[in-house]
C-alpha cells in the first residue's frame, strides 16, 4: 500500500568474527567464499561461468556445492572419513562453526583435497600445511598449540 512504511527488522548484530577467520588467510578466505556461495565450486554462480556445467568435475554425480564438496563427493571420501568423521552438516547452525578441532579438520580437508582452488593456483601453493592453515605467527610451531587435537598425528 502506498505510503506504508516497511517494518524494521531488529536482528542481533555481532562484531565478533567467525572463529575460522583465525586460520591463515588462504584457508579462511576459501571457507568464507564457500559459505557465501561465491567460490570456485561449479554450482556457485559466477558471471564468468554462466554456460559451464554446475556438476562436480571430480565425480559428476551432483551439483558441486559446499555441502557436496565437503560431505558427499566420492572423490574426497578418503580424506573426509579420516578428517571429518561425524560431520553431517555445513549449515549455519552446524557445530562445525564453533568447534576449534572441527574447523582445523575442515582446513586440513580443504588443503588436502584442493577443493575450491583455481586450477591455475595448484602449482603455486605454499610448501607446508601450516603456512596455509595457521596465521603466519603460528606457522613455525602450529601443532604445539593443539596437542590434544587428533589432527596432530597428520
Asked whether residue 94 is assigned to any structural domain, the reply reads yes
pLDDT score of 142: 43
pLDDT score of 1: 56
pLDDT tens digits along 22-34: 888 888 888 888 8
Asked whether residue 96 is assigned to any structural domain, the reply reads yes
Residue 150 clears pLDDT 50, i.e. is over it: no
Asked whether residue 32 is assigned to any structural domain, the reply reads yes
Count of other CB atoms within 10 angstroms of residue 143: 16
Asked whether residue 5 is assigned to any structural domain, the reply reads no
Asked whether residue 139 is assigned to any structural domain, the reply reads no
pTM for the full predicted model? 0.65
pLDDT tens digits along 61-108: 999 899 999 999 999 999 999 999 889 999 988 999 888 899 999 999
Asked whether residue 144 is assigned to any structural domain, the reply reads no
Domain span at residue 45 reads: 19-115
Q: What stretches of 1-154 show up as alpha helix (H) in DSSP?
A: 25-35, 66-67, 77-83, 100-113, 129-133
Residues whose CB falls within 8 Å of the CB of residue 144, separated by 6 or more in sequence, listed in order: none
Residue 137 clears pLDDT 60, i.e. is over it: no
pLDDT score of 116: 73
Percent of the chain whose pLDDT exceeds 70: 64
Asked whether residue 56 is assigned to any structural domain, the reply reads yes
Query: What's the domain count of the chain?
Result: 1
Round the average pLDDT of the chain to a whole number and report it: 75
Give the chain's radius of gyration (CA, Å): 18
Asked whether residue 50 is assigned to any structural domain, the reply reads yes
Amino acid at each position: 500500500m502506498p505510503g506504508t512504511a516497511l517494518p524494521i527488522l531488529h536482528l542481533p548484530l555481532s562484531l565478533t568474527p567467525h572463529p575460522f577467520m583465525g586460520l591463515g588467510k588462504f584457508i579462511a578466505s576459501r571457507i568464507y567464499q564457500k559459505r557465501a556461495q561465491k567460490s570456485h565450486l561449479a554450482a556457485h554462480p559466477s558471471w564468468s561461468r554462466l554456460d559451464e556445467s554446475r556438476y562436480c568435475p571430480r565425480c559428476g554425480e551432483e551439483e558441486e556445492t559446499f555441502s557436496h564438496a565437503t560431505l558427499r563427493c566420492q572423490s574426497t571420501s578418503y580424506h573426509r572419513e579420516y578428517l571429518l568423521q561425524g560431520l553431517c552438516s555445513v549449515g549455519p547452525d552446524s557445530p562445525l562453526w564453533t568447534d576449534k578441532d572441527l574447523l582445523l579438520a575442515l582446513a586440513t580437508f580443504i588443503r588436502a583435497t584442493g577443493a575450491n582452488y583455481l586450477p591455475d593456483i595448484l602449482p603455486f601453493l605454499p610448501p607446508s600445511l601450516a603456512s596455509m592453515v595457521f596465521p603466519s605467527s603460528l606457522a613455525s610451531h602450529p601443532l604445539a598449540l593443539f596437542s590434544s587435537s587428533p589432527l596432530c598425528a597428520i
